[in-house]
Structure 1
Amino acid sequence: MLAQIARRVSNTGFQNANGALITLKRAYHEKVVEHYNNPRNVGSFDKNDPNVGTGLVGAPACGDVMKLQIKVDDEGNIVDSCFKTFGCGSAIASSSVATEWVKGRPMDEVLTIKNSDIAKHLSLPPVKLHCSMLAEDAIKAAVRDYKEKKAKAAGSSSDDRAEAAA
């Protein structure tokens, strides 16, 4: 009975060959485990869609790679977001949280999301802070990509008008 309770509480208990209960401390906070097991907004948008911004970032030290995409409406609000991340549980959880936090917000407002906010929300240990930094960098890169696309489109459409007038 005690063994069953310990397993439920720790979610990492097991019995050794002698029947003694061995429990391990969970390495990840329950919020990280939840976002890892049930990641939100996994997927991709068409990167050629003019309303999509794509941020692709990586951490050479650990090999994590994160792609975060935003879909923006005509008023500059992020209406949808998705991600694909190759990395540890903390990187996946950070991506998942980031996509939830940017949805429904104005583009300029999401630039105020800091890695420290994500890290605090997920209770990341210091050794995993780079994962939340990747998420912040991916948000900024996606917004930058979207703005560059819009500026390029505006420039090419004014060039087209100038050519038509000449």
Structure 2
Amino acid sequence: MYNDTVLDHFSNPRNIGEIADADGIGTVGNPIDGDLITLYIKIDGNILADVKVKTFGCAAAIAASSMVTVMACGKTVQEALTITNEAVAAALDGLPPQKIRCSNIAADALHNAIADYCAKAGGQGGEPDDTCQRADK
């Protein structure tokens, strides 16, 4: 049912864990099947310098979470915002049709982490930069 790329990211997930002093944290879950993803980002300048993830869920959710960390790390905030769940599925060489909607939610967690970062940046006495204003919209 799963291809070799999905199985590799499920069996050997990348960037697992938490970032204690994360600049942004995004959580997304699907109550229908129980997948839960929490993604942590560390921003250096405008670059996602570190991305970590903790996932509770099926093989597809774990693989998608792993892949999104690989795709996002080293990208600018703007580039990371262009990563979609569809792009994650494509990078995994596809997911079974029944897993596309319920388990492929990792990009949503990434976008939530960026929104969290932007909310914090705007709440620290300064005006958020253009990146954060775009992320909030």
Tell me the TM-score normalized by structure 2: 0.86
Q: Which amino acid aligns with 2:28?
A: V
Matched, 1:137 2:111: no
Residue ranges of structure 2 left out of the alignment (5+ in a row): 127-137
Percent identical across equivalent pairs? 42
Residue ranges of structure 1 left out of the alignment (5+ in a row): 1-26, 156-166
What is the CA deviation profile of residues 102-130 of structure 1, one whole-angstrom value per residue up to 9, with x for unaligned ones? 11111111110111111122210211112
Partner of 2:4: 30
Q: Over aligned residue pairs, what C-alpha RMSD do you find?
A: 1.4
- Number of matched pairs: 125
Q: Which amino acid aligns with 1:135?
A: A
> By how many angstroms is 1:146 displaced?
0.5
Partner of 1:107: 77
> By how many angstroms is 1:154 displaced?
2.5
Matched, 1:87 2:57: yes
Matched, 1:63 2:34: yes
Q: Which has more helix, going by share of residues?
A: 1
Q: Which runs of 4+ in 1 moved over 4 A?
A: none
What is the CA deviation profile of residues 62-113 of structure 1, one whole-angstrom value per residue up to 9, with x for unaligned ones? 110000111001x211001000000000000000000011111111111101
> By how many angstroms is 1:52 displaced?
1.7
> Counterparts of 1:79 and 1:53 in 2: how far apart (Å)?
12
Matched residue SS, 1:98: helix
| Larger relative contact order (Cα-Cα within 8 Å, sequence gap ≥ 6) | 2
